[in-house]
């Protein structure tokens, strides 16, 4: 009887160590500490299993004491044969949010804990504030680029050129041809918005760039219905 009660106590202890993001008051750090190997990804969720050490040839992470973090990665290329190495960094818990800073790329990223047990960690990727600002920049650029490429290039005389963007060190990012048959005022306004927004982004996030200026194009020529800048 005493043995049965002991076994039951162990089972209850193990099953009680299960956490999900429906409980806003939990502290997952005790369960999070250790090594985790990527098992699979499904519908935006990334599933890790606990392992004794980081894998030699698979993605994995370690959450260590004093907020230390290690990422076992092959980088973003993904072209065989894969070579894995460790990237060191730090992590901070904010409720169910894991804020990660590393020496690699991207330097800062966030994971949201979906569920956490003794043997399984499920996370989703959550944008940082900088990534949200960058996404706004990309969306605005896509709008002006869509306008600039909305017409075929049949006559080079129907095309104009404008500078766009703001390098952190000063000056434009580049030059873009656009047709004079679109709403030019609206297009130039979007270019101005994008340039100002990128300038503010650079200041806000401490972006660093080279100080060389892009070459000034002298005109436009049409090739395969596309505008090509002439230098």
Tens-place pLDDT, residues 181-228: 999 999 999 999 999 999 999 999 888 888 998 999 999 999 999 999
pLDDT band at 76 (very low <50, low <70, confident <90, very high): low
d(CA 142, CA 83): 35
Taking CA 8 as the corner, what is the angle to CA 4 and CA 11, rounded to the nearest 5 degrees? Answer: 140
The pLDDT, as a whole number, for residue 19 is 57
pLDDT at 103 over 90: no
pLDDT at 4 over 60: no
pLDDT at 102 over 60: yes
**Cβ atoms of 73 and 87 closer than 8 Å:** yes
d(CA 36, CA 30): 14
Neighbouring residues of 141: CB distance < 8 A, sequence distance ≥ 6 = 194
pLDDT at 72 over 80: yes
Question: Angle of helix 129-148 relative to helix 184-205, nearest 10 degrees?
Answer: 160
Q: Has this prediction a pTM greater than 0.85?
A: no
Taking CA 196 as the corner, what is the angle to CA 191 and CA 198, rounded to the nearest 5 degrees? Answer: 95
Gap between the terminal Cα atoms of the chain: 89
Mean predicted lDDT score pLDDT of the chain: 87
Rg value, the chain, Cα: 26
């Amino acid at each position: 009887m005493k043995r049965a009660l002991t076994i039951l106590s162990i089972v209850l202890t193990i099953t009680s160590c299960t956490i999900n993001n429906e409980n806003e008051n939990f502290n997952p750090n005790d369960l999070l500490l250790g090594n985790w190997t990527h098992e699979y990804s499904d519908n935006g969720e990334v599933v890790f299993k606990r392992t004794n050490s980081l894998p030699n040839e698979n993605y994995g992470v370690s959450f260590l004491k004093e907020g230390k973090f290690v990422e076992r990665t092959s980088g973003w290329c993904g072209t065989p044969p894969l070579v894995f190495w460790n990237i060191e960094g730090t992590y901070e818990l904010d409720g169910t949010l894991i804020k990660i800073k590393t020496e690699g790329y991207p330097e800062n990223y966030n994971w949201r804990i979906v569920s956490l047990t003794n043997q399984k960690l499920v996370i989703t990727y959550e944008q940082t504030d900088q990534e949200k600002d960058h996404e706004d920049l990309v969306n605005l650029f896509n709008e002006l680029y869509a306008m600039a490429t909305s017409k075929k290039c049949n006559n080079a005389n129907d095309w104009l050129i404008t500078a766009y963007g703001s390098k952190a060190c000063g000056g434009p990012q580049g030059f873009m041809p656009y047709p004079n048959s679109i709403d030019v005022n609206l297009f130039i306004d979007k270019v101005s918005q994008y340039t100002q927004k990128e300038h503010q982004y650079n200041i806000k996030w401490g972006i660093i760039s080279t100080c060389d200026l892009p070459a000034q194009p002298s005109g436009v020529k049409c090739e395969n219905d596309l505008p090509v800048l002439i230098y």
